[in-house]
Structure 1
Amino acid sequence: MKYECVHADISQQTDIDAVVNAANTELKPGGGVAGAIHRAAGPELEKATRSLAPIEPGEAVLTDAFNLPNRYIIHCLGPVYGVDTPSDKLLADCYRNALDLTEEHQIESIAFPALSTGAFGYPFEDATKVALDTIRPHVEKLSHLKLVRFVLFSDEEFAHYQRALRK
């Protein structure tokens, strides 16, 4: 298993099978990651997600990627920090459920944003710990996944993930 992090736009991961959308309950376009993914994927994405919504915190669902350079989008609804509890369990569920979809669909590479850390207010350092502590043992159970990439938009978040991955 290979882990890496990049400082980039998640909607531009041309060598990745599935990108993860930091979704909202209704799976609609929004700000941040959801907005970028919906804009890049095109209007077909919103049509495709209508029948899948609403989803609950911790859930993950899969759609085609439409105009994105990927095969799939995995939509995860992370917890709103301090509102959806227990936040750490729900955030871990997002990562586990996304990884389970990779196995189900024989996906070999996945790119994650920093789930719940934007508008949902999850403290970045805590969210990073939950992500890595969840993903590392869970991928050992999977037979298809070969690459997990973390895509960070800001310099500070990228540097933090680089340090965390080295540990």
Structure 2
Amino acid sequence: MTTITLVQGDITRRRVDAIVNAANSSLLGGSGVDGAIHRRGGPAILEDCRRLRASHYGKGLPTGKAVATTAGELDARWVIHTVGPRYSTEEDRSELLASCYRESLRIADELGARTVAFPAVSTGVYGWPMDDAARIAVRTVREARTAVEEVTFVLFDERAYEAFAAQAR
């Protein structure tokens, strides 16, 4: 059974096997968590992402999918990039958000990662309401069939921490 822990802080400072990046489909860096991971991890992550774009993901990584690269200078072995959906009031995209967590854990299993740190995927510029994102994230990780021993949700601020804590109880 996977242990779920919550911390408030900077995901780029976590010592884990794999850090999950809330990436954009280009895989070439962006704002928020994505930008922070690329900045702190250094150029090796971007080089790996460029190789992925040149080979398997010429049109970018599809929403809900995940792929791994080196972690560069981060205190992790890998970065697992996943593309969260943009929030919509017109269409239920909850399954795509859940897929980000499932696919990231699937990739972690393929890599042999036992400890994984997740951000609150899609809650930044993609606008997903924090309480709903927390519900989907915690439920999906709890229900996942994975060899990952510990998932840490690394939450940027107190509001995010409280939303995830309410779901984890």
Q: Taking structure 2 as the reference length, what is the TM-score of the superposition? A: 0.91
Q: CA deviation at 1:163?
A: 2.1
Within 5 Å, give how 1:110-149 maps onto structure 2. 110-138=116-144, 141-142=145-146, 144-149=147-152
Distance (Å, rounded) in 2 between the aligned partners of 1:131 and 1:6: 15
Determine the C-alpha separation between the residues in 2 that align with 1:83 and 1:66.
Answer: 37
| Equivalent residue letter for 2:64 | G
Alignment of 1:2-151 (within 5 A): 2-14=3-15, 16-53=16-53, 54-82=60-88, 86-138=92-144, 141-142=145-146, 144-151=147-154
Q: Which runs of 5+ in 2 are unaligned?
A: 54-59
- What is the match of residue 156 of structure 1? 159
One-letter amino acid of the structure 2 residue matched with residue 100 of structure 1: R
CA deviation map 1:64-110 (0-9, x unaligned): 10100100000000001118954101101111100101111111010
Distance in 1, matches of 2:149 and 2:105, equals: 11
Normalising to structure 1: TM-score of the pair? 0.92
Report the more deviating stretch, 75-84 or 60-69.
75-84
Amino acid at match of 1:17: D
For structure 1, the residue ranges without an aligned partner over 5 or more in a row are: none
Distance in 2 between residues matched to 1:47 and 1:84, nearest whole Å: 37
Q: Number of paired residues?
A: 162
% identical aligned pairs: 39
* d(CA) in 2 for partners of 1:20, 1:83: 26
- CA deviation vs aligned residue, 1:103-137 (integer Å, no higher than 9, x gap): 11111010000000000011111111111121111
Q: Deviations over 1:23-80 (max 9, x none)?
A: 0011122111001100011012111101323101101000110100100000000001
Q: 2:21 & 2:132 partners in 1: Cα distance?
A: 20
